[in-house]
Amino acid sequence: MGLTMNPSPIRKIVLLGPTAVGKTNLSIGLAERLKTSIVSVDARQSYRYLDIGTAKASVEQRKQVPHFNVDSLDPVDSDSPFAFLERVQQWDAEHRQAHPNTPLVYVGGSTLYLSSLINGLDPMPKANPARVTQLKEQARTEGIAPLFEKLIRVDADYARKMDGLNPQRIIRALDVYYETGKPFSSFHSNKPVICPNDTLVFGLNRPRSSLHERIEKRVDHMMEQGLVEEVRGLLQKGYSLENQALQTVGYSEIISHFNGELSLEEAVENIKTHTRRYAKRQDTWFRKWPFIQWFYPEEQTELEILNLISTQIESKSN
């Protein structure tokens, strides 16, 4: 069943939720109803060759519905919410020119990217190349831990939100602090996230025990699909943990296994633990956004959820 869209004041339809909650299948069904395309709001699905560990929509699903921000970048490329927003503006303009009455569907769980998509970001100072090089050299010779301790002293808020010791983000945050004298977090926290009138935000969630079970099964399925071979292939192509793309749950643990730091069993357990922690942080972040309209796949069928979302879209579009 397709929706008949009048000239619509709705420009963005966002479907969010914690990892492994079931966003992909629902987003495909929704985009098919709307006869539109999907933009992945995932900080890692944008990278080529990172397929299994990022749980990208399958090739078949991407043939069903066009996807933006999937396989858009090479693993050597750095990415950020600002760069993501620039790409979104281009895709949105092209889409609206071809389909002026049909909003794009944005789906994902990367909280900073979602926040920037919904509410924008304050202007961010450009990187100081000389300082970044100096910080990278310090990280190479001394390890990333001393830089992280420095970040805790100057920007504890951002350090607390960080997913592990992410060298790229630590160095960027320190560079911004030294350049401006302001904590990196201050560029994200000056204003509350307010949903604009041209955006509808829908969320999926499940009881914690159910979500944890789905995470366990997803990681086991990734291993069966060949995650170890995928990571090995990336390393053989010359990529490494120095690349932002591989500083990611699922990839960093397997690399630690290759380096002899973890057994394969330990690496798998760490992936599951880190994914559960990530889902908890996502849930905590989303709870701060009162404008999300929540749906619960444990209580409602996919068809029921699609019908309810469709009704909301139609009521806002007329």
pLDDT tens digits along 264-296: 999 999 999 999 999 999 999 999 999 999 999
Q: Quick one: what percent of the chain has pLDDT higher than 90?
A: 79
DSSP string, 105-146: EEEE--HHHHHHHHH-----PPP-HHHHHHHHHHHHHH-SHH
Contact (CB, 8 A) for 276 and 269: no
Instruction: Spell out the residues 6+ positions from residue 34 whose beta carbon is closer than 8 angstroms to its own.
Output: 2, 3, 5, 13, 102, 103, 105, 313
Q: How far apart are CA 47 and CA 50, in angstroms?
A: 6
Q: How far apart are CA 10 and CA 317, in angstroms?
A: 6
Query: Looking at the predicted structure, is the pLDDT value of residue 2 above 60?
Result: no
Residue 92 φ/ψ, nearest 5 degrees: -65, -45
Query: Looking at the predicted structure, is the pLDDT value of residue 7 above 80?
Result: no
Kindly report, as residue ranges, where domains of CATH 1.10.20.140 are found in the chain. Answer: 129-187
pLDDT tens digits along 56-93: 999 999 999 999 999 999 999 988 888 899 999 999 99
Closest by CA to 188, choosing from 164, 145, 155, 218, is 155
317 residue type, one letter? S
Contact (CB, 8 A) for 199 and 172: no
Q: How far apart are CA 24 and CA 30, in angstroms?
A: 10
Q: Is residue 164 very low, low, confident or very high in pLDDT (cuts 50, 70, 90)?
A: low
Q: How far apart are CA 153 and CA 159, in angstroms?
A: 9
**12-120+194-222+285-317 has which CATH code?**
3.40.50.300
Q: What is the pLDDT of residue 188?
A: 66
pTM: 0.84
Q: What is the pLDDT of residue 189?
A: 54
212 residue type, one letter? H
Q: Is residue 105 very low, low, confident or very high in pLDDT (cuts 50, 70, 90)?
A: very high
From edge to edge, which strands make up the β-sheet containing 67-68?
Answer: 67-68, 38-41, 104-108, 12-16, 199-204, 293-295
Q: How far apart are CA 232 and CA 92, in angstroms?
A: 36
DSSP string, 94-115: HHHHH-TT-PEEEEE--HHHHH
pLDDT tens digits along 14-68: 999 999 999 999 999 999 999 999 999 999 999 999 999 999 999 999 999 999 9
Biggest CA–CA distance in the chain, Å, is 61
Query: Looking at the predicted structure, is the pLDDT value of residue 251 above 60?
Result: yes
Query: Looking at the predicted structure, is the pLDDT value of residue 8 above 80?
Result: no
Q: What is the pLDDT of residue 35?
A: 96
- What 8-state DSSP symbol labels residue 42? -
Q: What is the pLDDT of residue 9?
A: 82
Size of the chain, expressed as the number of residues it contains: 318
Domain 129-187 has CATH 2.60.370.10: no
Crossing angle for the helix pair 302-317 and 23-34, to the nearest 10 degrees: 40
Kindly report, as residue ranges, where domains of CATH 3.40.50.300 are found in the chain. Answer: 12-120+194-222+285-317
